Amino acid sequence: MTMATIRHEGLKAWIDETARLGQPDQVCWVDGTEEERSRLAKRAIARGFVIPLDQDRYPGCYYSRSNPNDVARTEHLTYICTRKREDAGPTNNWMSPEEGYAKAKEIIQGSMKGRTMYVIPFSMGPIGSPFSKIGVEITDSLYVVLNMLIMTRAGSKVLDHLGTDGSFTKCLHTRADLDVRRRLILHFPEDNAVVSTGSAYGGNALLGKKCLALRIASWQARQENWLAEHMLILGIEKDGKTDYVTAAFPSACGKTNLAMLIPPRGLKAKGYKIWTLGDDIAWLRVGRDGRLWACNPEAGFFGVAPGTNSKTNPNAIATIRKNTIFTNVLLGDDLSVWWEDGEGEPPASGTSWDGKPWTPGLRDADGKPVPGAHPNSRFTAPASQCPSIAPNWEDPQGVPISAIIFGGRRERLAPLVFEALDWAHGVYAGATVSSERTAAAVGKVGEVRRDPMAMLPFCGYNMGDYFGHWLQMGGRMSCPPKIFHVNWFRKDENRQFLWPGYGENLRVIEWILARCHGKGKAARTPIGFVPAKGALDLAGLNLPEGAMDKLLEVKAEDWAAELDGVKVFFDQFGAALPKELWRQYDALKDRLKTKVPA
């Protein structure tokens, strides 16, 4: 592909303009062929951007280490640039488009000198599906190109589909000098454009992912009456019938793990088969049948490495055996990779994520263990390599959703599972999700913050309007999914997890689906329905005495105290917060005051 063969004038003009600004040595169109990918990988190795792993043990796999100051999303440098400040809302950083473009221009000017500027046409969603959106990423990072080739459907076939005047999201990325002072992740939803500078980390630099598929897409979804969500998609097959659910958990709170779960031994006899359709993002549309249909816009997984092993997530381990890029894990001197709570023994010696010599058991001056992998180290692998990938994962129509599951990481308060009373109450439950911060973004790990629908960092417009959009979507469906809330992370007084999690989570999903089919016994609490005694199948689990009671406990006084935090959170939206959410708040307050008979 060359500039001369491009028939889309708007695209051509943008490429020309960007090349004049960035001043790369050359412009290279990515056509998406295997021959090209292998050539680019060789080039990335020659330039030192990636290191090939031991090809016998890890065929087609590469290692990459990013700048130690650039290993997680930087929410404080992420902006929504709209003409009106209130359109970004109180939970987003805002900049005017003029200021955004001016700041970006200053950084991009000449930043690609001595480099190649790659142009990657890509489709989020199967090419040609009614769900799909096209983007074009310009980048001066070969690491980004290699990742985008895994995470999206990229290359000339996308251009063919775009035609001479199709619309696309302009995604402009320069790594510049990787200095945080020149790091900005800017979104211009009114122009269908993203500009990202000074970072080469995943969500900051792979612009199809959080920037296009969530921030820009959520803006478009509101206008076009659909939903762009931070959700996994999972299929549960039993007796020849498959139910599909989506689940929204904040970053590093278990989406990849749930999406690939293996039925626990105790439930094996029931003949469950679990299908993976997506692990991070779902686009949802109302079907002609009045149900909600979901599609995964991505083509790969950009998953958290630490904690991934063949006990917790065997499907992930099988997925990353070949053709995978490992970022910021430990690199063994024998060209192996390893991470904390990973597979097998660590190598005898290696280099840690921040480029320092590392040996097993290494401790710092204070005697604290020095991790080999960064807690947010990741693997990038093709979804097609996942043993549990659903045969219909690329169906252009998507799959019909029976349940939407919200969740967070809470040591206390939230029970293992509860079912919302109806759609509006479910939206309230989603809007008030709170969770302990993880290493996926720069910030204080463990601090509890509100993360509505797991979208706090990803909603591309005023979250008050977003809640309104969710509420009205309920009215567009004759058969809306039921809404649930789960918490795999509740702890006992010794701060040990009460629930074993991972594959065992199917026991909770089983109850959720039973509820969707009008079965499954439940007890009503002020916050919603929880499983009645004996309603969860716990065969073979051997939980300690009383653990289940603690897991399902709903303490009215704790929930009443939580309401103060909800009020502070809601208040900041002013008039943009739908009145319905205040009605839900008041109704919950009342229910918490009323003694409910058991």
**Over the range 238-254, which residues count as b (16 or more CB within 10 Å of their CB) and which as e?**
beeebbbbbbbbbbbbb
- Considering only residues 311 to 340 of the shown chain, the ones binding ligand GTP according to CB under 6 A are 312
Q: Rule CB under 6 A: is residue 82 a binding residue for ligand GTP?
A: no
Query: Closest distance between ligand SPV and the C-beta of residue 440, in Å?
Result: 4
Q: Is 48 exposed, middle or buried (0-12, 13-18, 19+ CB in 10 A)?
A: exposed
The residue annotated as part of the active site, out of 28, 171, 211, 253, is 253
- The bridge status of strand 300-304 relative to strand 241-248 is unpaired
Among the listed residues 320, 374, 378, 317, the one whose alpha carbon sits nearest the alpha carbon of residue 143: 378
Rule CB under 6 A: choose which of 89, 121, 198, 203 binds ligand SPV: 203
Rule CB under 6 A: choose which of 229, 280, 419, 465 binds ligand SPV: 280
| CB-nearer residue toward ligand GTP: 80 or 509 | 509
Q: How far apart are CA 406 and CA 485, in angstroms?
A: 5
- What count of Cα atoms within 13 Å lies in the side-chain half-sphere of residue 52? 15
Which residues does 160 contact at the CB level (< 8 Å), separation at least 6? Answer: none
**How many residues bind Mn ion, per CB under 5 A?**
2
Rule CB under 6 A: choose which of 501, 550, 580, 591 binds ligand GTP: 501
Question: What backbone phi and psi angles, to 5 degrees, belong to 232?
Answer: -85, 165
Q: Rule CB under 6 A: is residue 266 a binding residue for ligand GTP?
A: no
Handedness of CA 120, 125, 126, 129 (dihedral sign): negative
Rule CB under 6 A: choose which of 303, 350, 408, 457 binds ligand GTP: 303
Q: Rule CB under 6 A: is residue 209 a binding residue for ligand SPV?
A: yes
Q: Rule CB under 6 A: is residue 578 a binding residue for ligand GTP?
A: no
Rule CB under 6 A: choose which of 152, 218, 251, 308 binds ligand SPV: 251
| CB-nearer residue toward ligand GTP: 312 or 328 | 312
Rule CB under 6 A: choose which of 118, 168, 293, 502 binds ligand GTP: 502
179: number of Cβ within 10 Å: 14
Q: Rule CB under 6 A: is residue 301 a binding residue for ligand SPV?
A: no
Q: Is 281 exposed, middle or buried (0-12, 13-18, 19+ CB in 10 A)?
A: buried
Q: How far apart are CA 7 and CA 161, in angstroms?
A: 11
DSSP state of 491: B
| CB-nearer residue toward ligand SPV: 126 or 202 | 202
479 catalytic per annotation: no
Rule CB under 6 A: choose which of 247, 440, 486, 588 binds ligand SPV: 440
Residues in the chain: 598
- Interaction partner, residue 209 (ligand SPV, Mn ion, ligand GTP, none; CB < 5-8 Å by kind): ligand SPV
DSSP state of 555: -
Query: Closest distance between ligand GTP and the C-beta of residue 488, in Å?
Result: 4
Q: How far apart are CA 509 and CA 445, in angstroms?
A: 28
Rule CB under 6 A: choose which of 139, 257, 323, 324 binds ligand GTP: 257
Here the tokens at position 156 are 């000339």
What is the set of active-site residues? 253
**Contact residues for ligand GTP (CB under 6 A)?**
249, 251-257, 279-280, 303-304, 306-307, 312, 440, 488-489, 497, 501-502, 505
Give the footprint of ligand SPV on this chain (CB under 6 A): 73, 202-203, 209-210, 251, 280, 302, 440
Q: Which residues bind Mn ion (CB under 5 A)?
A: 251, 280
